[in-house]
Amino acid sequence: MTFLYLHCEAQIQVDLVANKNQIRLVKVSGATQTDTLAVYKLGGSRAILGSWEYKQEIHFFRPVLSLSAGIDYIVYRNDRPTHSFKLPKEDVIAPTITAFFPSADTVPENLLKCYVQFSKPMREKDLYSYITVSDGQGKEVREVILPLEPALWNEDRTMLTFWIDPGRVKRGLKRNRRLGAPITEGESYTFAISENWQSADGAPLGTPWQKTFYVAARTEKLAEPQNWQVIPPKTGTTDPLTMIFPQNMDYLTTLSGFTILKDGIAQKGTAEMGNGEKRWLFQPSKPWVTGTYTIEITPSIEDLAGNSLLRPFDRDLQKQEAASKPASHQLSFTITGE
């Protein structure tokens, strides 16, 4: 692919192999095999690092780091500037934050995980520097978020899971004893995301984002399924099945934590969370029919504090007690013909 250049010397031509806003390879034709070539950034004092190869009367330059679109570069031939080039920068759409979980305004003191969802894939480099936590007086609170490496992204890097430091959440551990809980009951905290965080194709958010929580008491145990409310839909409709929880739930583990069965066959459909993650809705692909349905529950679903149906997150590891298990990991509901 050949591009327009700032100026050219006779017989010298530069072609670029580019991927979106990055130049991966520079091809220089018209120079002899004995010519010494180098690439500089306009105004730069040092040649850009990379490897040169000559074959079929073309010099190939592969930079160590891809060159950026929108920046002027100069090819030097035998220590003399001979050719300037620039890859036009593509117009890229700025990413946005489409969701943040927990979506509720109140969280327990032992909040364990948060999720931030973007409209497009994001860059991973230094990502934790873009997330800050401040208290009700606007003072930054440090060591709240655990900087995991690698970070916990979904497959296409549009949803990031970040942990509130478990070593401070879990009572009795060294970090908890030394620093205390990362967030404190009765206080407010603001999670802020910088406008400088860039998408994978180099576009910054452009607008800062923030979410403020009020902190309530610790949540010690996940409510058991017999305390959940199931609201059956009407037969012949594709109205959603609704399940209501007495406490706010973890978004990701709860969203995918249920399977609806009829006569042993899993029902197809889509699930979503609502009401601050206190409500789970399942909309079927086909209309409901009369009969009894079973809701299979993944026992590892969690509330905001990481408590599952198997065990509480903040438990005494010194005690040899059996894991707390509910009588059943299933619920059922009946759709009548009325």
Max CA separation in the chain (angstroms)? 89
pLDDT for 3 beyond 50: no
For residue 1, the model assigns a pLDDT of: 41
Task: Give, as one character, the DSSP assignment of residue 128.
Answer: G
For residue 2, the model assigns a pLDDT of: 39
pLDDT band, residue 328 (cuts 50/70/90): low
CATH (residue range 225-335): 2.60.40.1220
pLDDT digits (tens, 9 = 90+) for 170-224: 998 999 999 999 999 999 999 999 999 999 888 889 899 999 999 999 999 999 9
First to last CA, the chain: 67
Domain 5-85 belongs to what topology? Immunoglobulin-like (2.60.40)
* Amino acid (1-letter code) at residue 127: L
CATH (residue range 97-216): 2.60.40.1220
Which candidate, 154, 198, 208, places its Cα nearest to that of 22?
Answer: 198
pLDDT digits (tens, 9 = 90+) for 242-266: 999 999 999 999 999 999 999 999 9
CA 120/CA 158 separation, integer angstroms: 6
228: number of CA atoms within 13 Å, CB side? 27
pLDDT for 64 beyond 70: yes
pLDDT band, residue 322 (cuts 50/70/90): low
As annotated, the residues of the chain forming the CATH 2.60.40.1220 domain(s) are 97-216, 225-335
pLDDT digits (tens, 9 = 90+) for 70-86: 889 999 999 999 999 98
pLDDT for 267 beyond 50: yes
pLDDT band, residue 5 (cuts 50/70/90): very low
Percent of the chain residues past pLDDT 70, beyond the cut? 93
pLDDT band, residue 7 (cuts 50/70/90): very low
For residue 173, the model assigns a pLDDT of: 93
Q: What angle do CA 194, 103, 271 make, to 5 degrees?
A: 120
Which candidate, 251, 230, 234, places its Cα nearest to that of 242?
Answer: 230
Instruction: Provide mean pLDDT across the span 10-23.
Output: 83
User: ω into residue 108 within 30 of 0, thus cis?
Assistant: no
For residue 321, the model assigns a pLDDT of: 53
CA 66/CA 166 separation, integer angstroms: 38
pLDDT digits (tens, 9 = 90+) for 140-171: 999 999 999 999 999 999 999 999 999 999 99
